[in-house]
Structure 1
């Protein structure tokens, strides 16, 4: 066997043994936890420490994005929920029912991201109801980020365990 054949056997270009899949998973969760209701977390930290213009920017961005999320949820929420439910069901049936590894991989990326979207709408509703400002706003945004990070940790763990299981089954270990 030539060198390229051995390298591709070692790397294996399937979903769970593909380096790009794991890079995409890491980028997905690092980006999801960095952007809290559309506001970069470093701006939230700066606003909390220094106040001033950064605090005004955070309040403005959270207000704009919360209204945007609630508008989208009220206008197209039913259609988004129906399409998302259909897409997730198709991925589950093809991936876990018929054993299509690519669909399993996509499901393990998309399903937790759907939960993050629901969590964001919930936080936007809380913002609209309570209209927090100052430290109360920063606390709400920190709790939102913590929830997203917890979902990310669980998602990465489940994906890693499933990916290792699939690699062991396919390689016959």
Structure 2
């Protein structure tokens, strides 16, 4: 095998059999779980344990993120929702209707990610309405993080099952 062939074996264009896809999936969910509404989990943990300046920083950062998200949604929310819905529908039809593996893989990345976006937006609305501070804010962010982690675990499980089925089917059918 030449160097050129080795490079293309390493960077496989088939999604579910590519190590890069699985690395991207793991990094994506790790990052999404670590940054709850844009606030690092270690900052929230420090704020909860120590209070003081860490709590102040976490509260300010959370409220800034809440305002950023809600401002974007209030100004372009319909467009964002329409674009995301259209993109997911196109990926769903191409992937599962026409059997395009790349579309399946991208759909399995983005669909659960959009669900966590909806959960974060709902949380932002609740934080804004209650103007939460301190322990109530940490509890709300903790629930969002838990929901995000559960969504990630279910997503990874479903993606792994679908990916294995896809690879096994491809090897049996000789594709």
TM-score by length of 1: 0.93
In structure 2, the CA distance between the partners of 1:59 and 1:9, relative to structure 1 (3 Å rule), is closer
Aligned residues between the structures = 172
SS of the counterpart of 1:172? helix
Moved over 2 A (4+): 2-13
Counterpart in the other structure of 2:73? 73
CA distance in 1: counterparts of 2:131 and 2:162, whole angstroms = 41
Query: Post-superposition shift, 1:3?
Result: 8.7
- Cα deviation 1:28-70 (Å, max 9, x = unaligned): 0000000011100000000111111110001101111001111
Deviation at 1:158, TM superposition (A): 0.5
The aligned residue for residue 90 of structure 2 is 90
Answer yes or no: is the 8 Å Cα contact 1:70–1:125 preserved in 2.
yes
Cα distance per residue 1:83-126 (max 9 Å; x no partner): 11111111011111110000000000011111111111000001
Structure 1 contact 39–58 (Cα < 8 Å) conserved? yes
Q: Distance in 2 between matches of 1:171 and 1:6?
A: 21
User: Which residue of 2 is the match for residue 146 of structure 1?
Assistant: 146
The answer on 1:164 being equivalent to 2:164 is yes
Following TM superposition, by how much is the alpha carbon of 1:134 offset from its aligned partner in structure 2, in angstroms? 1.1
The CA distance in 2 between the partners of 1:25 and 1:10, in whole Å, is 17
Deviation at 1:8, TM superposition (A): 7.3
Aligned to 2:40: 40
- 2:115 counterpart residue number: 115
The 2-side partners of 1:10 and 1:44 are apart by 39
1:24 and 1:10, CA in 2 relative to 1: closer, same or farther beyond 3 A? Answer: closer
Instruction: Evaluate the alpha carbon distance shift between residue 139 and residue 8 of structure 1 in structure 2; reply closer, same or farther with a 3 A threshold.
Output: same
1-structure distance, mates of 2:71, 2:16: 37
